[in-house]
Amino acid sequence: MFIKVTRRGPNRYVQLVEAYRDASTGRPKQRTIASLGRIDQLNTELNSVIAGLQRVTGQTPAALAPATPPVLSFEAARDFGDVYTLTELWNALGFDGLRGVFRHTRHSIDVEALIRVMVFNRLCDPDSKLGVLRWLETVALPGTSLESIDHQHLLRAMDALVDHKAEVDNVMASLLRPLVDQDLAMVFYDMTTIRAAGLSEQEGDLRHYGMAKVGVVERQVMLGVVQTSEGLPLYHEVFDGNTAEVTTIKGVIEKIVARFPIKRVIAVADRGLLSTENLADLQEIVLPGGNKLEFILAVPGRRYGDFVELLEPFHTKQCLPAKEEILGEAAWNKLRLIIAHDPQVSLDAGAKRDKRINELKAQADLWVGKLNDQDAGKKKPGRKLSDGGARAKFYREVCEAHLARIVKVNLKSELFTYDIDERALKHAKMMDGKLLLVTNAPDFTPEEVIKRYRSLADIERGFRVLKSEIEIGPIYHRLPDRIHAHATICFMALILYRVMRSRLRNSNTKISPERALDKLRRIQHQVVKVNDLEPIAALSSINHEHAEILQALTIKKPTLPAQLTLL
């Protein structure tokens, strides 16, 4: 039986109707059992009719039943917007291709999902691998079917990442190729130091003591990174902590050439990577299409003395009267030497050096006066000064001021003496404010060469991201393979970061990737349960700012996911 509403003129009536099947024809039919009256007249009688039916069936009428408020229980809210955005980027870029790498391995765990978790953690809340487990308790990961995981699962996933390094590299190269200009690729290469913790020694240990970028000797590993002029990371490699930078560039560039089918490659590197051997090696690299590798390398300051004869005519004729930047070019060892002179930098450097030299002279005169007074028998308060002691102190201060080539301390004389090398001082003044670049690119003007080299500053920003936002160091892993895996995870995070930065910039959104993730984190996943009913899941509201960020990143608005990781 069911309720049916019929219309007669302007009125509507409620009828109780029964459906049945005609015995002779077998066709379904309906018959009215009772007419309950007009709808507008039932409003006052409806409750009494319902109560009567409930009494007949032995139920307590609803009007007499005590009102019981629903029992609500809420689970802790979990961050969702940031990990959702990173998941969409991960899949859109092609990182999900790692599933195919690990699908038929000996590992029973979901290696791709675990690697994804560790990469996202570097961008959202970088922590140790144990810290990853704590972070997982605060987020709702979409599209992931991980059950409870532990620390060993993460370590096994890192081991798998190294065991299948070649296949992983192929996946990463394939997802980066569409983003690289095939006709002309400006690649930048630089190295940095990453501090490594621990005192133990391992077989094949990567952690060695060396001079860090901050100017102190510490246990470390070296990290080389190659990126495009647009800031897209292409390749990374971990080296021993005591590796000389000049020995790494040739092998890294050869791997880039083999990995990316680019017609023309121009390698740009900083001062620490230029040497005579490097220049010869780089000129021998040939691209798959037959073109030779082109390069732009900065000349280190310690090598400026080799260019005195070339620079003297340029300095005398063009730099002395200059009030703005001057560019020039000369031939050197069958290569192009590009010269840039900044008058303001030259004045500042010269004034700073002159001030320091005058301070050293004043200190030397003070000590000489004290020594002369002691020789004359005059007594003064304080410890007695010797010529050897004054010589050692003065020489140390000269070295700390990086003026040993100009201020010459006589270390063999019995008396404390020094001299100013006027020729060295003249050469130093000539080099002030100058940038020297060596290149074999035939068709770039000096302005274009300088512009491309100065873009190298962007890779330094990439290192700052690795060290600050992604927190690649200090490294607490001991085993070489784990260190390699940790660096790969951080490199994947850097790719996602740079893609986010590029999309945010292209949309004129004045917000950084870390700030965008922080705002998106406020889109949260919530679960509520009413009485004994099935739990109800929902997302917090998406405001206008969230929508703008997602649009800038070309990510669709999130909806309630069908499957979440809730540990």
The percent of residues in the chain predicted with pLDDT above 90, rounded, is: 43
10 Å CB burial of residue 382 (0-12, 13-18, 19+) is: exposed
Q: pLDDT band for position 339 (50/70/90)?
A: very high
- Which residues are CB-neighbours of 142 under 8 A, at least 6 positions away? 80, 83, 84, 87, 558, 561, 563, 564
Which of 327 and 455 is assigned the larger pLDDT?
327
What average pLDDT score do residues 186-197 get?
A: 88
Tell me the CA distances in angstroms from 491 to 153, 185, 232, 249, 479, one per residue in order: 21, 20, 11, 18, 19
d(CA 210, CA 533): 63
Q: Tens digit of pLDDT for each residue in 477-486?
A: 999 999 999 9
Give the H or E element holding residue 217: strand 217-228
Output the pTM of the full model. Answer: 0.76
Give pLDDT, residue 259: 87
Q: Which tokens is 485 given?
A: 């895996």
What average pLDDT score do residues 531-555 get?
A: 90
Give pLDDT, residue 363: 94
Please give the DSSP secondary-structure letter assigned to residue 402.
Answer: T
What average pLDDT score do residues 116-133 get?
A: 91
Q: Are 17 and 2 within 8 A, CB to CB?
A: yes
Q: pLDDT band for position 567 (50/70/90)?
A: very low
Give the H or E element holding residue 101: helix 98-102
Q: pLDDT band for position 566 (50/70/90)?
A: very low
User: Phi then psi for 65, rounded to 5 degrees?
Assistant: -75, 140
Give pLDDT, residue 374: 87
Helix H, strand E, coil C: the string for 44-88 is CCHHHHHHHHHHHCCCCCCCCCCCCCCCEEECCCEECHHHHHHHH
Q: Tens digit of pLDDT for each residue in 452-472?
A: 888 887 777 788 888 888 888
On whether residue 29 sits in a domain, the answer given is yes
Place of tokens 């037959």: 290
The answer to whether residue 563 scores a pLDDT higher than 50 is no
The closest alpha carbon to 520, from 79, 76, 123, belongs to 79
The answer to whether residue 184 scores a pLDDT higher than 70 is no
The percent of residues in the chain predicted with pLDDT above 70, rounded, is: 94
On whether residue 22 sits in a domain, the answer given is yes
User: Phi then psi for 224, rounded to 5 degrees?
Assistant: -105, 135
Give pLDDT, residue 93: 95
Give pLDDT, residue 43: 62
The closest alpha carbon to 484, from 237, 132, 119, belongs to 237
Q: Are 463 and 369 within 8 A, CB to CB?
A: no
- 3-class SS at 368? helix
Domain count, the chain: 2
The answer to whether residue 519 scores a pLDDT higher than 90 is yes
Q: pLDDT band for position 381 (50/70/90)?
A: confident
What average pLDDT score do residues 100-104 get?
A: 86
On whether residue 555 sits in a domain, the answer given is no
The answer to whether residue 283 scores a pLDDT higher than 90 is no
The answer to whether residue 562 scores a pLDDT higher than 50 is no
Which of 292 and 550 is assigned the larger pLDDT?
550
Q: Which tokens is 407 given?
A: 């201020």
Give pLDDT, residue 65: 57
Question: By residue range, what is the domain housing residue 25?
Answer: 2-56
d(CA 310, CA 205): 45
Please give the DSSP secondary-structure letter assigned to residue 196.
Answer: B
Q: Are 439 and 335 within 8 A, CB to CB?
A: yes
On whether residue 103 sits in a domain, the answer given is no
What average pLDDT score do residues 94-117 get?
A: 87
Which of 45 and 116 is assigned the larger pLDDT?
116
Helix axes 111-124, 151-163, angle to 10 degrees: 110
- Pick the last residue of a domain from 431, 456, 486: 431
What average pLDDT score do residues 126-148 get?
A: 82
What average pLDDT score do residues 385-403 get?
A: 92
On whether residue 385 sits in a domain, the answer given is yes
Give pLDDT, residue 292: 85
Which of 255 and 71 is assigned the larger pLDDT?
255
Which of 241 and 536 is assigned the larger pLDDT?
241
On whether residue 26 sits in a domain, the answer given is yes
The answer to whether residue 561 scores a pLDDT higher than 60 is no
- Pick the last residue of a domain from 372, 406, 431: 431
Q: Are 82 and 521 within 8 A, CB to CB?
A: yes
The closest alpha carbon to 352, from 389, 403, 304, belongs to 403
Q: Are 542 and 84 within 8 A, CB to CB?
A: no
Give pLDDT, residue 66: 60
- Which residues are CB-neighbours of 61 under 8 A, at least 6 positions away? 50, 51, 54, 55
The answer to whether residue 307 scores a pLDDT higher than 90 is no
The mean-pLDDT minimum among 5-9, 222-226, 412-416 falls in 5-9
Please give the DSSP secondary-structure letter assigned to residue 445.
Answer: -
Please give the DSSP secondary-structure letter assigned to residue 558.
Answer: P
d(CA 445, CA 330): 12
d(CA 177, CA 175): 6
Q: Are 195 and 212 within 8 A, CB to CB?
A: yes
On whether residue 361 sits in a domain, the answer given is yes
- Pick the last residue of a domain from 36, 56, 76: 56
On whether residue 308 sits in a domain, the answer given is no
Give pLDDT, residue 46: 67
d(CA 189, CA 223): 11
| Average pLDDT over the chain, rounded to an integer | 86
- 3-class SS at 362? helix
Give pLDDT, residue 146: 62
What average pLDDT score do residues 285-302 get?
A: 84
